[in-house]
Structure formats: C-alpha cells, structure tokens
Chain A
Amino acid sequence: MISRASAVLCGIILSLIFLSGCSTKVETFHISEEYDFSYIKRVAVLPFTNLTDNRNAGEIIRQLVISELLASGLVDVVHTGNVTRALKRQNITDINSMSVSQIRALGKDLKVQAVILGTVEKYGETRIGAVSAPEVTITLMMVETDGGSIVWSVTKTRGGANFLARHFGAKPETLSETALRVVREAIQTLYVY
C-alpha cells in the first residue's frame, strides 16, 4: 500500500512524462481573416509535390488529405480522376508554376471554389542514435479560384518516438499513423472557421 502523497507524486511524474516526452510536433499556419470560407463548398485536391525519397509519398498524403476533408464534412472533394483530366485539358503540366488565370480556368472546369496544393517534405523513418522513428512533414495551401489568392496554409511536422514508447513499451506510432495525425491536425486548423 502507498500513501495518497505517493499517488499524487506518481500522477505528477506521469503528467511530466506526457508533457516532456511527447514526440516533436511543429505547426505553422495562416488563415485569411477577410475571406468567407462558407463560400467554399467544393474543392479539388491537386497532385502533391513530393520532396522525399519515397516516390509514392505525395500520393499517399494526397489520399489522406482527401479522406480527412471528406470525413471533416467541411467540403465536398472532386474525384481525383476528374482532376487529372482537367489538368490535361488546361495544359497544366507543372502544378508549382500555375498562373492565376490557369487556377481560375481549373476552378471553372471542375466547378470548385478552391484548390488544395500540397508538398510532402518528409515521409519516412528517421534515425536518432540507435532508435528509428517515423517522421512526416507536410505543407498544405488552399487557393481560392476567383482571385487566385492563398486563403489558408499550414505546415506541420511530427516525428520521433515518444517517451512512453521508448521507455515503457507503449505502442509506438507507425508511419501511417504519424501521417494520419499530421494531416488530421493540419486540416483541423480549418475548423477555426
């Protein structure tokens, strides 16, 4: 049997473990305060720029973003096949160098009020000493198709094994789980509106 004081001490230690031992999470986001987001009913998620060694990382995160946007109930999402066809019709080969007029044309073609652009900077396992853990870094941007301005952008990173996983054998996150959390937390910044 242990005293109540010892139990409180245990509680404090556990809280500290949770606070200090959490895996790294970094977030930067911007949301346009003047823009009326209720106008956006339907969006197209364009193919993401992949800056990682994993050739499928861009598409993996893109599918996850589509799934999370649908699950959030915030907007409708255009079917990806239609996006591919529309990009061909509009002669857009490089997503990163789209002009405002091309964004407008794409918006009209797909009947969307905004397009989502994304970049995957990191998607894989990172070694820290003898320990390897998943790490995911993404940047998402929403561009409204009337004027071509960025109304929302977020950069999010998450990685590293947490304290409980390293020392107490709690289930460590898989790469997919890390990706899910990064995308979910990024999309949640849209809930501000």
Chain B
Amino acid sequence: MISLKNVVLMVLFFSVLAGCGTDRFYVHRDSTLEVPKKVAVLPFENLTQDPLAAERVRRVVIAELLVRGIDVVEPGEVLRVLRESDIPNLQSISIKDIKALGRELEVDGIIMGSVSAYGIRRGIEGAYPEVTLHLMLLDPSTGRILWSAWRTEGGPTFWMSYFGTKGATLNETAKRVVRDAIDTLFAKGES
C-alpha cells in the first residue's frame, strides 16, 4: 500500500521536474584552463529591448569577478583603449584586435558577452523576471575562446504560482545568472 502522501509527493516531484532549468558551459579541450589573474570585461552586446541591460549586467559580472579575487581593469580604461584602438564596433572585433587589447591592458583574459533577455515577462502565470546571458573568456595571446557559458533564469516557480511565495526580483535574478555562469569558470571541465 502506498500512502496518499507519497502520491502527492510524487506529483509535486514531477511538477518541479518539468520546470527544471538547464545550463551548459564549455572549456577549451586543449587548454588546462587557469583562472586568469587579471581580465578586461569588454562592453556586452545588448540583444534586449532595454538599452541599459548590457551595461547593467556587465557591472554585475565585474562585481562578481572581483568578489572571486580576479583583478578587473577599470571599465573606463577599457573604453579608452577601445576608442584609441580604432575598433569600429564590438561585433567586428578580430583576434588581432583581441591580442592588441590584451597587450595594451596587460591582462591574461578578455571577457566578452551578450545579454539576450533582461526584463519582466508576462506569461500564463503572471509577471516574472527573465535574464539570459552568454559569457566568453578569450585568451589574449592566441585569441582563442577558452571558456563559454550560456545561462538563463526566470519564470515563476511552483511555490510562487500556488503559494504566493516571494519571487526573485530582476536584479536578484541577474545576480544569480551571473554567479551561476561564473561558477562554471571555476568548476573546470565540460558539462
């Protein structure tokens, strides 16, 4: 005999399972990835409707890297070097440019990224925050992609929808997405 309680637990389990999020990251196969000591975080590509989303998320990334003990070049200095390097836009930044930036800024890693969702969505369960981020670490000596992580978070949870528990704010969601993405840089290996 199976108790009713177990059946309810089973249903809850399936409900939660159906909503599980996913993420993946990549570490270059040939590289024994060392977490860089000093990095430059280039302005992120903004693929959202919010014109400030990329810069907001970039600041969260910089703060998170600093918390992890990685030295980060001051964003104003990065902008100055980008302007002086005659790079028309970040979409057309070449490996040659990456190498030059690495030399100029004296960093052992360059972080590039794009934000493809940042805002409050209205779905069948009401309004909820959604943040989606893609980060890449490039080796300034070779221009190769050493690490890449794509992470998304958002949507109402079962508890939020049915029991009215407090959902995460947009900022909290952004911080969690960034933290989870950067965790994979320290995890090493391929997911």
Report whether chain A binds chain B: yes
Measured CB to CB, the residues of A under 8 A from B are 1-4, 7, 10, 14, 18, 56, 59-60, 63-64, 66-68, 70-71, 73, 77, 79-82, 84-85, 88, 125, 131-133, 161-162, 164-166, 168-177, 180-181, 184
Given A133-B124, A171-B19, A175-B121, do A81 and B150 touch, yes or no (CB 8 Å)? Answer: no
The answer to whether B1 touches A2, judged by C-beta atoms less than 8 angstroms apart, is: yes
CB contact between B152 and one of A169, A170, A180 (< 8 Å): that residue: A180
The answer to whether A73 touches B18, judged by C-beta atoms less than 8 angstroms apart, is: no
Given A172-B123, A172-B155, do A180 and B150 touch, yes or no (CB 8 Å)? Answer: yes
Q: Is residue B45 within 8 Å, beta carbon to beta carbon, of the partner chain?
A: yes
How far is B92's CA from A56's CA once the two chains are assembled, in angstroms?
17
Given A63-B116, A82-B94, do A10 and B157 touch, yes or no (CB 8 Å)? Answer: no
Instruction: Determine chain A's interface SS by DSSP, over half rule.
Output: helix
> Would you give 12 A-B contacts (Cβ < 8 Å), ordered by A?
A2-B3, A2-B7, A59-B114, A59-B116, A66-B148, A81-B92, A81-B93, A81-B95, A88-B92, A164-B19, A175-B117, A177-B21
Chain A residues, CB < 8 A from B22 = 177, 180-181, 184
Q: Name which residue of chain B comes closest to A77, CB basis.
A: B145
The answer to whether A174 touches B130, judged by C-beta atoms less than 8 angstroms apart, is: yes
CB contact between A132 and one of B10, B25, B94, B123 (< 8 Å): that residue: B123
Q: Name which residue of chain A comes closest to B47, CB basis.
A: A56
Convert B70-93 into 0s and 1s, putting 1 for each residue whose CB lies closer than 8 angstroms to a CB of A.
000000000000000000001111
The answer to whether A176 touches B117, judged by C-beta atoms less than 8 angstroms apart, is: yes
The answer to whether B145 touches A70, judged by C-beta atoms less than 8 angstroms apart, is: yes
Q: Name which residue of chain B comes closest to A69, CB basis.
A: B26
Given A172-B124, A177-B155, do A82 and B95 touch, yes or no (CB 8 Å)? Answer: yes
Interface size class, chain B: 35 or more
How far is B130's CA from A70's CA once the two chains are assembled, in angstroms?
24
Chain A residues, CB < 8 A from B157 = 171
Q: Please give the distance in Å from A25's CB to the nearest CB on chain B.
A: 14
The answer to whether A171 touches B155, judged by C-beta atoms less than 8 angstroms apart, is: yes
State the 3 A-B residue pairs at the shortest beta-carbon distance, nearest first: A171-B19, A70-B26, A81-B93
Convert B144-160 into 0s and 1s, putting 1 for each residue whose CB lies closer than 8 angstroms to a CB of A.
01001110101111100
Chain B residues, CB < 8 A from A80 = 91
How far is B172's CA from A14's CA once the two chains are assembled, in angstroms?
34
The answer to whether A84 touches B91, judged by C-beta atoms less than 8 angstroms apart, is: yes
Q: Please give the distance in Å from B134's CB to the nearest CB on chain A.
A: 5
Q: Is residue B59 within 8 Å, beta carbon to beta carbon, of the partner chain?
A: no
Chain B residues, CB < 8 A from A169 = 15, 125, 158, 161-162
How far is B116's CA from A65's CA once the two chains are assembled, in angstroms?
13
How far is B114's CA from A64's CA once the two chains are assembled, in angstroms?
10
Chain A residues, CB < 8 A from B114 = 59-60, 63
Q: A73-B26, A168-B15 are in contact. List 17 more A-B contacts (CB 8 A).
A: A14-B14, A18-B14, A56-B47, A59-B47, A63-B116, A63-B134, A67-B24, A70-B145, A71-B191, A88-B92, A171-B156, A172-B19, A174-B123, A175-B117, A176-B130, A176-B154, A177-B22
